[in-house]
Structure 1
Amino acid sequence: MRIFIAGYQHETNTFAPTLADWDAFNAGHTFPAYRRGAKLIETFKDINIPVGGFIQAALGKGWQLVPSVWAGATPSSYVTTEAFERICGDICEDLREAVNQGIDAVYLDLHGAAVAQNADDSEGELIARIRAIVGEAVPIVGSLDLHANVTERMLSVADALVSYRTYPHIDMADTGRLAAKLLERRIALGRKEKLHYQRFAYMIPLNAQSTWMQPAKRLYDELIASDAANNVVLSFCMGFPAADFAECAPMIWGYGEKAEMAVSALFASASPAKQWDPGVLPVAQAVAIAIERAAQSDKPIVIADTQDNPGAGGDSNTTGVLHELLRQGAGKRFPNRVALGMLYDPESANQVHIYDQKEHVVGVESAQSAIKNRVIDLNLGTAVPTFTGVLSDPPVQGSFRIEQLSDGVCTYTGPMMTGVTAHLGKSCALNIEGIRVAVVSGKAQLLDRELLRMVGINAEEMKIIVVKSSNHFRADFTPLVADSARDVIVAKAAGPMAADAGDLPWKKLSPTISPSLPV
C-alpha cells in the first residue's frame, strides 16, 4: 500500500498573548522545525511522537510511505491565517501530486485543538480539504492529542481518529501505531466502521486530567479493557479548556459494532463532575506548604506554576512564584537547592552571555569558578496581560550570580518525547538569594530533567523545584518525590492560562457547555 502522511500540531489557547505565525512553525524550540518530503521520515521515525509510531508500524507492514509536511509549534494563541494556509497549501499540493501517482490511504498526525484566525476548527478544515482531493473511497485516519477538542466535522469527514491515552503523553508513538491498526481495520472492512460519540456538557480542568492520578487513571484502564472485551477502539479526549469556539469540550467516541454500548458505558463512568476537582492552591499557600514539607523530606517537593504553562499557551516568563519564593526566604532556608524553570527571557539570557564574554578573565583557577564569581544586575521575567485584564507580577529586579551558560541544545531522555532535541538558544542558570533560575531564549515546558541539567542544575539534588507546566512534568519528575499526592503542589500565580476555565471571557462557546465544573 502507498500511504500519504502529514502532520499539523498546535494547541491553541485563544486567550493567550502570542500568535503562532509562520516563524513559530520553523523555530524548532520544542518541536522539530517545519519538515517537508523525505526529511519527515528521517526526522521522526525513531522518536516518541505519533508519526514516528505510524512510520515504524507502516514500514514493518511493508507499506510505502509518501511523506508530505510535518508542522508543529509551541502552544500559544491563534495560528495565523498565513501560517495555516501555507501549511495546508503545501500538504494539498503534495497530495494532488501523490493522487496522480496513486495512493491507498492518508494518515494525519494532528493535535486536534488548533484554532486558526480563519478557521475555528482548523483540523476539521484540513481534513475536509484532503477529502475533497482524494474522494470518498480513500481512507483518512489520524491520531490526536488527548487534549483535542474533537468536532463533529472531524469525526464525520475522517474514516477513523484515535487519541493518546496518557497524560503526560508517554504513549504518543503507540498512538501512531494504533492509528495504523485502525487503518488495517478500515481496509479489511471495506467501508467506515460504525461510529458513536458523546460530548461532555462541561470542561475538565487541565490539572485534574493527569492519568497518573484518579479518576483519569481508572477511566483509561476501563477504556483499554472495553477495547479488548468489545472489539472496539475507544478514545477519550479530555479536551483543552482554553479554545474559544463552539465545540470546546471533552468527547468520548469509538469504532466497532459495539461502539454505542461501549461509549455509553465509559461516558457514564467519566461524566460525573465531582470527581474532577483539581485542588489548585493560591501561590503563597503553595510555597509555604512546599517549604514546610521540604524541611521534612529527603526528596524534592515540586510546585507546578500552571497558569504560565508554555504547553498551554503561556509564554513561560511570569514571575509570581519567583517573587513568592523570595518573599518567604526559600533560598535562604535551602541555599542553592531551590530551582525554577524554564524562564523564557531571551533579552536577559543574551545580556548574561555578552557580560560573560566581556568579563571572562583568562588565567583564573577555572572557567567554572570564574562564572560563579560574576554577578549581573537584571530585570528578570516579564509582566504579561492575563485573562483577568491586568498584568502579571513585575520582573524581578536584583543582582544575579551567573552559575552556568549553555547553547540551549537538549535531547530529552525522560518518558515523554524521548529522543526529541530542543533548541532553546542562549541559556543560563542564575542564582538570586539561593534560588537557581534556568533562563532560556526559546519556550519550553519543563517536562524533562535534562532541561535543568542543560544549565547545570541536577533536579535530584534540589529541595524545591518549580516547573512551568501543568501535568507533563509528572512523567519525569514525580518519580523523584516521596509521595505524589502530597509532594506535587499545583500553584495558582498570575498568568495567561486559567486553571479554572470559568475565569475566561468566553464569546463563542456553545450555551450547552459550561466552562466550569458544575457544582
Structure 2
Amino acid sequence: MSRPRIAIAGFQHETNTFSPAPTRMENFESGGAWPALTRGADLFDVFLGLNIPLGGFIDAAKDDCDLVPILWSNAEPGGYVAQDAFDRISAMIASGLEEAGELDGLYLDLHGAMVTEDFEDGEGELLRRLRAVVGPDLPIAVSLDLHGNLTREFVELASVLAIYRTYPHVDMAATGARAHKLLMETLANGRPFAKAFRQLEYLIPLQAQSTMREPGRRIYGLLPGFESPGVASVDLAFGFPPADIHHCGTSIVAFGSDQDAVDQAADSLLETLRKSESEFHNPLVPANAAVRQAMDAANGAEKPIVLADPQDNPGAGAVGDTTGLLKALVQEGAKKACLGMLWDPESARKAHETGVGGTFEASLGDCLPQPDCSSLDIAVRVEAVSDGQFRFTGPMFGGTHADLGLMAVLLILDDHSEVRVVVGSRRAQNADQAIYRHIGIDPTEQKIVAVKSAVHFLADYQPIAEQVIFTESPGANPCQLDRIPFKRLRSGVRLGPEGPAYAPAAQ
C-alpha cells in the first residue's frame, strides 16, 4: 500500500455543566496548562514528543503516512462551550479538510465530554459537520479521553476509536499511536470495522476511577486480552459525571472484523463492570477533619501528607478559587503546609506590585461567587513571584510549556499556622510538582501538600507521599453523585455504585 494521505486535527474540551466558569473562544486561543490553538505545520513543531494524543499519532505515523496538519485546540475544563467558539473552530477544521485535497483518512484528537450551548454531544455534532465535508465512507480514527460521555450516534459516525487506558492519563500519546494502528488496519482491510457499543447502568465518581487503584487497575488491565483475530480493539470510557446530559456515564466500545466476536467482547467487559460495582469507593473526608488527620499522620512521617481538593479541581471544570481547604489548614494550625494552585488573578497582581518581602491585606479566592463559598480575608507576605512560564516535568504533562500568567507564593500571616498558598492567573489543576517547584517550593520538604486536583496529581505526587487523603470541600465539581441536581440524565441510571436510581419526576 502506498503512503496514505491522512489529515490530522484536534478539538478538546471536558465540559462541566455545573461550572460557573465560561468557556469562550479566548480560552481555546490563549493556552495555559495546554498548548494554545495551533494551526497548520506548526502542529509538528508543538506536539511531536509531547504526551498528547496528537503527538503520539504524529510520531507513529510520520514514517508511513503523508500527514496533512489542520488544527488543534483545547481549553481548560469548564462550563458550557460557547456556541460561537464551537462553530468557529469546527468551521476551521471543515475548511481545512475542504482545502486538503484527496485524502485516505482522517485522525481526530477529541475528548468525548464536550457540551456546547446547543448540543449535548459536541463531538457527535462535530463529526456530523465533518462527515458532510469528507463523505460517509472516509475512514475516521478518533482518540478519546477516558472521561468521555459517549453516544451511539457518535460511535456510528467514527470508523474506529481509541480511548485512554490510564487515569492519571500518562498514556495520551500512546493512545494516539493506537489510533494510528487501528486506522492503518482499517485502510489495509479495505472495509469498515464491525462495532459494538454498550452503556453501564451506574455512574462512577471521578476519584473512584483511578487506574492506579482498584478496581480500575484490574479492569483496564483486562483490555489488551480481548484482542483476537476477530477483535481489533476493546475500550472503556469511565465517563464524566458532572455533566447534566442524557448519555452521561460509563460506556464500552469494541471494533473488529467479526461482529459476533466484537459483541461478545463488549458484553464480557460489561458483565465485569456489573460484578465490580461494590468495589468502587468514594472516600471523601470533610476538610477540617482531613487536615487534622494529615497533621497527626505527619508527625514522624518521612514524606509529606498530600491532601486533594477534588470538588474544586479545575481539571474537571471547577473554578479553582474556593478556600474551604485553605481555611481548614489555617483554622487547624497546620505547619509547613502549602496549597496550590488557587486561581486568583487579583492577588497575583497585587503580589507582583507589592514585591517579594512585602505584605498586603488579601482577599483570597472567591473570584467567581459560588454557593457555600467565600474569600479568605487575611494579611499575607509575598515570598516569591513568577510570570507563570515554565515546563511541566511530571509523568502526565512532562515537556509541555505552561503559561499560567502572573503567579506568587503568599505566606498566610497567622500566629497559629504556617501555610503558604500559590496563586495564579490562569485556571489549571495541580497535577505536576513543577507548579510548586518552579516558584521555589519543594513539595518533599513540606509536611502537608494540598493540591486542587481529583486524580491526575497521583502520577507525580503519590511517589513522594506518605499518605493521600481526599477531602470534601465546596466546589463546582460535585463528587457525591446522589447530590447532583441532574435534570437531563436518562431514567434509571444509578447515581454512584450501588446508589439510588435517577428518576426525573422526583427532581
What CA distance in whole angstroms lies between the structure 2 residues aligned with 1:374 and 1:137? 64
- Superposition pairs for residues 35-434 of structure 1, below 5 Å? 35-61=38-64, 63-98=65-100, 101-227=101-227, 231-256=231-256, 257=258, 258-272=261-275, 273-331=277-335, 337-356=336-355, 371=356, 373-382=357-366, 384-386=368-370, 390-392=371-373, 394-432=374-412, 433=414, 434=418
Cα deviation for residue 136 of structure 1 reads: 2.3
Deviations 1:267-302 (A, max 9, x none): 111224211122111112211111110113110111
CA contact (8 A) 2:342 2:424 kept: yes
What CA distance in whole angstroms lies between the structure 1 residues aligned with 2:22 and 2:254? 33
- Per the alignment, do residues 385 and 203 of structure 1 end up closer, same or farther by CA in structure 2, a change over 3 Å counting? farther
Deviations 1:61-112 (A, max 9, x none): 2x111111111000000000110000001011111111xx211001000000
Cα deviation for residue 231 of structure 1 reads: 4.3
Deviations 1:164-198 (A, max 9, x none): 00000000000000000110111122111111121
Cα deviation for residue 414 of structure 1 reads: 0.6
What are the ranges of 5 or more consecutive residues in structure 1 without an aligned counterpart?
332-336, 357-370
Cα deviation for residue 60 of structure 1 reads: 2.4
- Identify the match of residue 427 of structure 2 among 436, 443, 446: 443
Deviations 1:361-413 (A, max 9, x none): xxxxxxxxxx3x42222111116554xxx231x21111111111101012111
What are the ranges of 5 or more consecutive residues in structure 2 without an aligned counterpart?
500-507
Residues 1:493 and 2:473 are matched in the alignment: yes
Residues 1:511 and 2:507 are matched in the alignment: no
Cα deviation for residue 243 of structure 1 reads: 1.1
What CA distance in whole angstroms lies between the structure 1 residues aligned with 2:209 and 2:369? 26
Cα deviation for residue 228 of structure 1 reads: 6.0
Q: Report which stretch shifted further, 377-386 or 273-282.
A: 377-386
What CA distance in whole angstroms lies between the structure 2 residues aligned with 1:71 and 1:513? 33
What CA distance in whole angstroms lies between the structure 2 residues aligned with 1:137 and 1:480? 50
What CA distance in whole angstroms lies between the structure 2 residues aligned with 1:385 and 1:470? 21
What CA distance in whole angstroms lies between the structure 1 residues aligned with 2:317 and 2:424? 17
What CA distance in whole angstroms lies between the structure 1 residues aligned with 2:44 and 2:232? 30
What CA distance in whole angstroms lies between the structure 1 residues aligned with 2:11 and 2:113? 11
> Which amino acid is the alignment partner of residue 168 of structure 2?
P
> Which amino acid is the alignment partner of residue 317 of structure 1?
D
What CA distance in whole angstroms lies between the structure 2 residues aligned with 1:145 and 1:177? 14
Deviations 1:475-509 (A, max 9, x none): 00000023xxxx11000101111012221211111
> Which amino acid is the alignment partner of residue 200 of structure 1?
L
> Which amino acid is the alignment partner of residue 16 of structure 2?
N
What CA distance in whole angstroms lies between the structure 2 residues aligned with 1:314 and 1:171? 24
> Which amino acid is the alignment partner of residue 488 of structure 1?
V
Structure 1 equivalent of residue 27 of structure 2: 24
What CA distance in whole angstroms lies between the structure 2 residues aligned with 1:501 and 1:263? 26
What CA distance in whole angstroms lies between the structure 1 residues aligned with 2:91 and 2:231? 38
Q: Report which stretch shifted further, 153-162 or 250-259.
A: 250-259
Q: Secondary structure at the match of 1:70?
A: strand
Structure 2 equivalent of residue 466 of structure 1: 450
Deviations 1:238-284 (A, max 9, x none): 00001111111100111122222222122111224211122111112
CA contact (8 A) 1:385 1:496 kept: no
Normalising by structure 1, we get a TM-score of: 0.92
What CA distance in whole angstroms lies between the structure 1 residues aligned with 2:489 and 2:305? 37
What CA distance in whole angstroms lies between the structure 2 residues aligned with 1:352 and 1:328? 25
What CA distance in whole angstroms lies between the structure 2 residues aligned with 1:325 and 1:137? 58
What CA distance in whole angstroms lies between the structure 1 residues aligned with 2:479 and 2:93? 35
CA contact (8 A) 1:169 1:472 kept: yes
Structure 2 equivalent of residue 10 of structure 1: 13
CA RMSD of aligned residues (A): 1.3
CA contact (8 A) 2:13 2:77 kept: yes
CA contact (8 A) 2:312 2:475 kept: yes
What CA distance in whole angstroms lies between the structure 1 residues aligned with 2:383 and 2:464? 23
What CA distance in whole angstroms lies between the structure 1 residues aligned with 2:367 and 2:53? 36
Q: Secondary structure at the match of 1:179?
A: helix
Structure 2 equivalent of residue 361 of structure 1: none
What CA distance in whole angstroms lies between the structure 1 residues aligned with 2:297 and 2:25? 45
Cα deviation for residue 230 of structure 1 reads: 6.6
> Which amino acid is the alignment partner of residue 309 of structure 1?
N
Deviations 1:47-72 (A, max 9, x none): 110000000111022x1111111110
Normalising by structure 2, we get a TM-score of: 0.94
CA contact (8 A) 1:384 1:495 kept: no
What CA distance in whole angstroms lies between the structure 1 residues aligned with 2:40 and 2:368? 38
> Which amino acid is the alignment partner of residue 35 of structure 2?
P
Deviations 1:314-357 (A, max 9, x none): 111110001111111002xxxxx21100011000100111112x
CA contact (8 A) 2:354 2:382 kept: no
What CA distance in whole angstroms lies between the structure 1 residues aligned with 2:369 and 2:338? 25
> Which amino acid is the alignment partner of residue 457 of structure 1?
I
Q: Secondary structure at the match of 1:195?
A: strand
Deviations 1:176-229 (A, max 9, x none): 000001101111221111111210112100010000000000001111222368
What CA distance in whole angstroms lies between the structure 1 residues aligned with 2:372 and 2:285? 20
CA contact (8 A) 1:202 1:514 kept: yes
What CA distance in whole angstroms lies between the structure 1 residues aligned with 2:237 and 2:369? 29
What CA distance in whole angstroms lies between the structure 2 residues aligned with 1:230 and 1:376? 67
